[in-house]
Structure 1
Amino acid sequence: MKQQFEAAIKTLPQNDVQQLAIWLQSYINDSWDQQLESDLQSGKLDNLISKAEADIAAHNLRNLDEFIRNT
């Protein structure tokens, strides 16, 4: 099926390919948002949220730029 999609996309005009890419990214973003909302509601993220709140309360924080450079 992947090959069929690829072949079909290759026949589209460039503008249609760009519009498809925009739609696909929106679809992926919406799916991510729905999964995150589901995980929040189900409690899957409760431990991470509690740890983050505890770190904030203990002033155990790092600048995001510093964190990114050290990983």
Structure 2
Amino acid sequence: MTTVETIEEQIAELDNASFSKLRDWFLEFDQSRWDKQIEVDSNAGKLDFLINTALDEHQAGKTRDL
């Protein structure tokens, strides 16, 4: 049995309160990892194409004030 399968079995055995606490923790943990990855990608220039696309569209008059 793999580690993931073991964890899945343990999660399935949790009572509702423990499962809710785990779910809340996991969502926060997942979002934190995502934020860190976005920051790493941004600092490495991997997202520059998004900035350039937005600037090109703005200069072409394809944007509007919010």
Q: TM-score range by the shorter chain?
A: 0.7 to 0.9
SS at match of 1:60: coil
SS at match of 1:44: coil
The C-alpha deviation readout for 1:6-38, integer Å capped at 9, x for no partner, is 111122111110110111111110011001111
Distance in 1, matches of 2:5 and 2:37, equals 28
Unaligned 5+ segments in structure 1 are 63-71
Looking at secondary structure, tell me which structure has more helix per residue.
1
Distance in 2, matches of 1:11 and 1:47, equals 46
Q: Number of aligned pairs? A: 62
Question: Which amino acid is the alignment partner of residue 47 of structure 1?
Answer: F
TM-score by length of 1: 0.76
Q: Name the residue aligned to 2:41.
A: 39
TM-score by length of 2: 0.81
For residue 57 of structure 1, report the CA deviation from its aligned partner. 2.5
Unaligned 5+ segments in structure 2 are none
